[in-house]
Each structure stands twice: as structure tokens, then as C-alpha cells.
Amino acid sequence: MGSFSNIHEQDNLSDNLKSLGLSQNDLPSLNDDSFNKMNSEEELNEFKILKEISKKKFLQQDNSLKEFWDKSLFDIQKKIEVHDEVKQYSHLSNLYAKKIFYTPENYFDELSYNIKNRLNTPEDSYLKKLYVFSLISNNAMRYTFSLLLVLVFTGIYILNQNNVVHQNDCQSLSCIEKNEIMDATIIQNFSNEQLYELLDEQQMEDELKHLSIINTSLVSENESIDHLSTNFLMEEL
């Protein structure tokens, strides 16, 4: 007695730990007390009454100890599994799980308070505006808005095009209405021959007659219309 009565258990434990690739010293969360407690059970075997009293207490501890063992072994096994998985990637395994991110001081202490403040604060109009903006910024709305813009600009372009008449749009003047041409603010690329085509002969004769009546008053009795210069005529046309 007095020896570590659970020597077989210790051996079993060592074997189990070895199978996990660990030695007893690798268990960070276990300390000597747990082994001592296991020893004391065996030591009390000679003192039945005493054992009876302490056994209950020990059993309670034993249950929690068992859970503690189970959880520790589970955590260790988890670590080993993950470590083994990463071993095949040499660079990754060398960088294994170092702490690199930090938080401001007292961040976690104040977090609960900050969350409670947010819960107690009613949503303000800024958040509503954010919500509206988020509606607009989703994909469907974005495409619809773009399409609308395209349609608006196309419409403006088409409307502006109606006031401009281009000769190149058709092969002859016959495809364009005369009044459209005459009303157009800009007549582009018409040759003189094509302009002559537009002239109304009857209208020209009437205008000439009107002119000649005016001019005969200005012209002397001996002058005839033959003496009127072609330049003068062309100008009047």
C-alpha cells in the first residue's frame, strides 16, 4: 500500500497518451492533484468507515473528474486530428495557429453594454435611408435604372434628329416632302440643280410679272425687257 495503487491505470493512461503521440507531461490542464485523488481511494481501503464518508465526496469528484478527463482527452484528440491534417502541408503546419489579430483594450468588457444601448435605441431615419439605398443598389434595380436611362437618352436623340434633313438620306428630293425641306432650319448638302428642282415655275412667273410691273415704272419708255440684264433677273429669282 502506499504505492501508487493505480499503477496499472497509470500504465494504461501512458499507453493511451502514447497512442495519441503524447507523454504525460503534455497534458496541460491536468495536475498532480488528480493523480493524488486517485491514489487516496486505494489508501482508504483499510479504513472502511472513513472510505464510506470520503467515497461519496470522491465519487462526486470522480464524476466531475471523469467528465474532466473525457473533455480533456476529447480536446487533445481534436488538436491532434487538426494538426495531423495540416502536417501534409509543410508551410501551413509551420505557421500553425498563432495569434495575430488583436482587439482594442476592454473591447469585450464593453460589448455587452454597447449591444444593450443599441437594443434600447429606436431605429432612426438614417437607417431607413440606408435601407432605401440598399433597395436601389440591388442588381435588379440597377439594371432597370440603367435601361431607363438608355431609353430616355435614345428618345431625346430621336426627337432632335427630326429637325435636321440630310440629302444623303434618300437618293432624290422626291422622297422628301417639299414643305419639310422648306420648313427645315438646316438644309445640308443640296446642289444648285437640286435646289432648282424645288422651285415652282408658276410661282416664279408670277413673281417675275410682279417685278416687271414694278420695274417698268422705273425703266424708261424706250427700254424693253430685253435690256434687263441676266444678272438682274437671276437676282430677282
Partner 1 sequence: MAFHHLIQKYQKKLYWHIRKIVINHDDSDDILQNTFIKVWKNLEAFKRESELFTWLYRIATNESLSFLKQKKRANFFSIHPIEYQLAKSLESDIYFQGDQIQLKLQKAILTLPEKQRIVFNMRYYDEMPYEQMSQILETSVGALKASYHIAAKKIEEYLISN
Does 143 bind partner 1 (CB under 8 A)? Our answer is no
Residue 29 as a binder of partner 1 (CB under 8 A): the answer is: no
Is 59 a binder of partner 1 (CB under 8 A)? no
Do 195 and 173 contact (CB within 8 A), yes or no? no
Radius of gyration of the chain (CA): 53
Q: Does 106 bind partner 1 (CB under 8 A)?
A: no
228 lines the binding site for partner 1 (CB under 8 A): no
Per CB under 8 A, 126 contacts partner 1: no
- The residue written with cell numbers 464524476 in the block is 63
Least distance in Å: CB of 114 to partner 1? 6
> Which among 30, 109, 42 has a CA at the least distance from the CA of 71?
30
Residue from 1, 49, 100, 158 touching partner 1 (CB under 8 A): that is: 100
Q: How far is the CB of 192 from partner 1 (least distance, A)?
A: 54
Contact 119, 128 (CB under 8 A): no
Among 3, 25, 31, 112, binds partner 1 (CB under 8 A): 112
Distances (CA, A) of 28 to 52, 69, 77, 114, 116: 32, 12, 13, 36, 37
Q: Return the C-alpha cell found at 11.
A: 500504465
Contacts of 69 (CB under 8 A, 6+ apart): none
Q: Does 8 bind partner 1 (CB under 8 A)?
A: no
Contact (Cβ atoms closer than 8 angstroms) between residue 170 and residue 176: yes
Least distance to partner 1, CB of residue 22, Å? 16
Q: Which of 8, 32, 57, 91 binds partner 1 (CB under 8 A)?
A: 91
Q: Is 111 among the residues that bind partner 1 (CB under 8 A)?
A: yes
Which residues have CB under 8 Å from 44's CB, separation 6+? 50, 51, 54, 55
| Binding span for partner 1 by CB under 8 A among 19-27, 58-66, 107-115, 159-167 | 107-115
Q: Coil, strand, or helix at residue 164?
A: strand
Instruction: Using the rule CB under 8 A, give the single segment among 8-16, 42-50, 109-117, 229-237 that binds partner 1.
Output: 109-117
d(CA 112, CA 108): 8
Min dist. Cβ of residue 115 to partner 1 (A) = 5
Binding footprint of partner 1 on the chain (CB under 8 A): 78-79, 82, 85-86, 89-92, 95, 97-98, 100-104, 107-108, 111-112, 114-116, 118-119, 134, 137-139
